[in-house]
Amino acid sequence: MSETWKQWEGRAIDGKFPLQSYLGGSDHSAVFLTVLQRRNGEPGKAAIKLIPRNAGAENQLSRWQAVRELNHPNLLGIYDAGRCKLDGTKLLYVVEEYAEENLAQILPERALTAEEAGGMLPPVLAALEYVHGKGLVHGRIQPSNVFAVGDAVKLSSDSLTTLNDKSAGAKLASDYDPPETASGQFSAASDVWDLGITLVEVLTQHPPVWNRAGGNPPTLPPMAEPFREIARQCLQVDAEKRCTIAEMGFLLRGEKPNLTAAKTAKPVVVPSIVGMGKLAPKKISKKWSVLVALAAALAIVFVLIPKPKPANSANGTQQQAETSVPSENSMSPGTGATSGESAGAAGGESSAGAANGVNSNGVVRRVMPDVSAGGRRSIHGKIAVRVKVTVDAAGNVAKAKLESRRGSSYFQRVAVDAARDWKFSPAASGEPSREWKLEFDFTRAKTEASAEPVQR
């Protein structure tokens, strides 16, 4: 059905959830951007997933309805679920909290550092502690199901099921699944296995090598400690020998828990050791280590999705950092403005005369991207974003689009937002719309911008 999904853009589910844009999917599911009416009456972004309505549809729908009642800061929220039909195709839908990116989008660019992994694990463990405490299992822990929502790291929730729900476990067929899922068995220990596979992958960009038929645990590549030891204890073929969520917390802190005593507790009740910073290595800031860890995983920005900024600041100045255009003697075509940490990263007031400084280059105003301080710290090396803008006769940017979508979507976003506010000299009489290529170069120290007219 993968070709059919995208054709449904513009349709509506139950007359209230528009399928605004196709975000991705497979033959078995599709995710669209939709709009949800918040309690305050304001519309907000949400994601809606569609799956074919098969024999197990009622069980799946019941699970989604039950998950709606859960509430945890590191678990993706479910707002609604139901049945629908599009072009004669019977479907189930689930409306979920919108997340711009997931961890799988980072890995093609680079692996996480040890510090970043140390920041990623606490919120994931916190979510699993909560889920297991409710008598549920996640079932599909993998990089594509670890999301960023605002400043928080969250696990997906649409796969949650009860312990040993064979109707759910029998459908699992991925490289992340532990040995016992072949017989439809699933438990909290199965989530631990999945997390072990995921941990290896985020640190090496590849899941560990494993021969399912061999009876031996996966072969672990070289990894920093304590992550290699955590992965080793997660990836035991015998589910009874795997570490628990609580034990991972001890290992992450560099402590040695009493593994034997912990495994004798039936049913497993995870101690409340997982939570705000308690599992984070001491060298990581207590103020939500993930903002450094996963944000730094942001060569494709995973965590630091900026909050909407007001149009004007308290004193009436524009929040984006604007730089006045130097005189034509000090800047030639292709050279650019520079924004240091104080302006480019945190925003700043517009420079005097920025809107009126016309020069022979044709650029009247340059607006520098508004990069958060955490986003600035996430940069490794240099991130270059190129934006092509179409300029109307009055010199305003009529259209701004990326030249390439490869790379960090966070920095692409702030670059395009800034590019839309650039101003160019008015066109000569009868001159058609013009195009410019803008380049924004982001480093930890500063942001630089340059502009080149596109020759027709």
Extract the tokens encoding 185.
């068995």
Residue 73 is which amino acid? P
Residue ranges of the chain assigned to CATH 3.30.2420.10 = 321-326+334-453
Residues 213-256: pLDDT tens digits? 778 899 999 999 999 999 999 999 999 999 998 888 888 888 77
Residues of the chain with CATH 3.30.200.20: 2-97
Architecture label for domain 2-97:
2-Layer Sandwich (3.30)
Confidence band, pLDDT 50/70/90 cuts, at residue 46: very high
Mean pLDDT value across residues 373-388: 81
Task: Report d(CA 371, CA 412) in Å as an integer.
Answer: 11
User: How far, in Å, CA of 154 to CA of 446, rounded?
Assistant: 30
Reported as a single tens digit per residue, the pLDDT across 149-204 is 877 889 999 888 887 565 544 444 577 888 887 766 778 899 999 999 999 999 99
- Cα 29 to Cα 2, 7, 51, 143, 166: the distances in Å are 8, 14, 5, 17, 21
Contact at 8 Å (CB) between 74 and 154? yes
User: What is the CATH architecture of 321-326+334-453?
Assistant: 2-Layer Sandwich (3.30)
Distances (CA, A) of 343 to 22, 179, 337, 339, 445: 36, 53, 12, 6, 11
- Residue range 345-365, pLDDT digits in tens: 333 333 323 333 434 468 999
- Kindly give the residue spans of alpha helices, DSSP state H, lying in 97-187: 114-133, 166-169
Of 262 and 384, more confident:
384
Token readout for 182 is 């072949």
Q: Which CATH number fits domain 101-300: 3.30.479.10, 1.10.600.10, 1.10.510.10, 3.30.420.40?
A: 1.10.510.10
User: What is the location of CATH 1.10.510.10 in the chain?
Assistant: 101-300
Q: How far apart are alpha carbons 265 and 355 in whole angstroms?
A: 69
Q: How many CB atoms lie within 10 A of CB 81?
A: 22
Instruction: List, in sequence order, every residue forming a beta bridge with 383; answer none if it has no partner.
Output: 442
Distance CA(388)–CA(4), nearest Å, equals 31
Amino acid at 366: R
Sheet strands (E) in 372-426: 383-391, 397-402, 423-424
Centre a 10 Å sphere on the Cβ of residue 282 and count the other Cβ atoms it contains. 9
Residues in the chain: 456
Backbone phi and psi for residue 17, each to the nearest 5 degrees, phi listed first: -120, 95
* Alpha-carbon distances, residue 1 vs 53, 167, 180 (angstroms): 13, 23, 30
Residue 299 is classified by DSSP as G
